[in-house]
Structure formats: C-alpha cells, structure tokens
Structure 1
C-alpha cells in the first residue's frame, strides 16, 4: 500500500490550501496519507525542519510518495538527499518548487543557501518526479520551478494562472495534482 507524505511550505500549516482535500482523496483511494508539520513556518529554521522531516517521515521505501509545496519542496529534497542513501521512493511531486533565492521573499535567503541537494542521487532514488508550476506565481517565478525540474529530470506540469497554488488563489482542491497522483497509488 502506498503512503503519501504531504509537506507544507513557508507560512503554512498542514491544514492549509489543498492539503486536507488531497489527504481525503488518498485515503478514499485506499492508501495512507500523513500531513507533515514543520515547526514555526513563519520563521523557518532549516535544522529544525530537517528534524521534523526525519521524525515524521520515518518510512521511506518504494511505497512512499512525497508531495511538497513551495519551501517544503526544497526542505524535503535536502532531507531526501541524505535519507535516500540506501533506499528509493516511488515518486516526488513538487508544487511551486525552487532551489534559488526568491526576490519576493529575501528573508528566506539564508534558509535557501543552507540546503544541499544531491541531484544525481535524487534522480536515481525518486523513481518518478513531477514539478507543478504556475504561469503567474507571485513568489516563485516559473523559470525557478523549471530549473528545479531540469535538475531532477522531472516531468514539468504548468497550470495557467494558478498563483502560488494557495487557498487565496482558489486552491482548496487540486484536481490536476490528483490526476497525476491517483495512478501512482495503484502501481505495485
């Protein structure tokens, strides 16, 4: 049975945006889902976030799927660069992901610079990789998500006029993501 970890981003909590909606769809499909809590998301500390991921994402195997949003993408990829030394996961779906500084949020520069991704390992150990980007993301310009997709050799999925895929952008549900995730849940 597949297990999906749903990882929020900056200034968010596990109850925000489309996270509960996605968890419910996963559970209705017969898989398990866990919404991961990252401490003090308004003032993220990279080491604390890594500890949160380490404590809550305890099972990483070929039945594991990571779905992450925004800064949660970068943090989870940093975590996976260490945690996947001896195992693989089924898939990673990264929404508004990036690895470079954000002009719109300079207070995250130190966090971003502290993250270390092993691109080769991530390409080998995350068996399927997807990056969702929005044509009008006010925080993560599309080229940043495209470059993340290139680093991961991921399938890029652009959604027109989706903002930052937040509740404020109308994203309390995310059917396009579900269309990608649903078939992955039934793969053995």
Structure 2
C-alpha cells in the first residue's frame, strides 16, 4: 500500500484465537501486527468489546487494516456505526472472515447481546470471506451482510467457520484475500485522489 507503515489489527471472535488459530499465525508473520484483547472472551458484552476495539484503534495513529473473524466482524460493524470520524479515518480497510450471524435462531445465548447487526455501509473498503457450510452464517446471509456493509464478497466451498475446528490453522490461502483487500484499498485511494 504505497509504502505506508500499515498496522494490522487482529480482531478475534468469541473465545478468542488461540496460538494455533490462523489469526495468531498471521499476527506473528504480518509486519506491525497486534491484537485487540477483550476483557472477557467467553461472555462477551457488546459495548465492552466495542470499547476495547476503539481503545486499540486509538492507541496508534498509524493507518490500520483490520483482520476480523466471526464475532469480531460484528464488533467492528457496531464500532463503525458510532465511531468518531477522527478514528474512522485511521482505518484503511477490513478483512471480514466468517462473520457470525448473531440474529440466527440457533445463536449461542452468550452472543445475542450483539444483535441487532448494524446494516449501514462501512466507511472504508472491506472484503467479506464466508463459506457455503459455515454453521455461524448461511452463504445467503453472508452475502446479505456484505451487500449491506458495502463489502466485496467471496463465498468459499466447504471451509466451515474458517477456524481450528474446520482445519484452518495457518490459512495461508487467506493471504490472497488480504492482498485482494489491499487492492481495493488502493483503488479507492486512487478514486479519492
């Protein structure tokens, strides 16, 4: 991204991302990567998670790309819906992986306080990567969220929730989507120049 010192902010979902999760691998190998640490990974409270995300974004004025997974995607949309413009400007884009549909009928009780899901477009480029067999969101629901958020979408075949349980440890192929997001960011920057 034109030589800027981009910070990659890893935003895990419910129960965090343990050491063998792809988000932890990415944190170790991406330059300038750090993670949003939540107060309670097991019993998440929406406002607490949004506040922790805001504190992480505010902690550095460097341009930031967010890499969110599952409930982290929903946390980001809640933050973006109420964030101050000065902090929104720091976000160059977001990779939204396997967003959790917290409005679905079988949503775990611990996550329902994240509903309703904000439906307005995100104020930065985003790429949503979902799956045709994700138990946390159907492919149609993932596409609906992508449309509402103004995100480009990719629905992958047979990859589950794109987590350890579905066999995604390093998820090296996910870097192709990060690269695609970076291209979207650069395209928007050229349009706005």
> Does TM-score exceed 0.5, indicating one fold?
yes
Which TM-score tier does this pair reach, normalised by the shorter chain?
Answer: 0.7 to 0.9
Unaligned runs of 5+ in 1: none
Q: Distance in 2 between matches of 1:156 and 1:61?
A: 28
Matches of residues 14-53 of structure 1 in structure 2 within 5 Å? 15=19, 17-27=21-31, 32-53=32-53
1:137 lines up with 2:134 in the alignment: yes
1:151 lines up with 2:148 in the alignment: yes
Corresponding residue for residue 73 of structure 2 = 73
Corresponding residue for residue 110 of structure 1 = 113
SS in 2 for 1:57: helix
Matches of residues 74-89 of structure 1 in structure 2 within 5 Å? 74-86=74-86, 87-88=88-89, 89=91
* TM-score (norm. length: structure 2): 0.80
Aligned-pair RMSD on alpha carbons? 2.6
How many residues get paired?
178
Unaligned runs of 5+ in 2: none
* 1:103 to partner: Cα distance: 2.5
Corresponding residue for residue 7 of structure 1 = 11
* 1:80 to partner: Cα distance: 2.0
Distance of aligned partners of 1:104 and 1:15 in 2 relative to their CA distance in 1, 3 Å threshold: farther
Q: Distance in 2 between matches of 1:90 and 1:59?
A: 16
SS in 2 for 1:52: helix
Asked whether the equivalents of residues 13 and 37 of structure 1 are also in contact (C-alpha less than 8 Å), the reply is no
Corresponding residue for residue 172 of structure 1 = 169
CA offsets 1:108-136 (integer angstroms, 9 cap, x no match):
223223x5x3624x2xx31x210000111
* 1:11 to partner: Cα distance: 2.1
Distance of aligned partners of 1:43 and 1:51 in 2 relative to their CA distance in 1, 3 Å threshold: same
* 1:41 to partner: Cα distance: 1.9
Asked whether the equivalents of residues 11 and 72 of structure 2 are also in contact (C-alpha less than 8 Å), the reply is yes
CA offsets 1:48-79 (integer angstroms, 9 cap, x no match):
11221122222577821111011110111111
* TM-score (norm. length: structure 1): 0.82
Q: Distance in 2 between matches of 1:46 and 1:22?
A: 25
* 1:14 to partner: Cα distance: 5.7
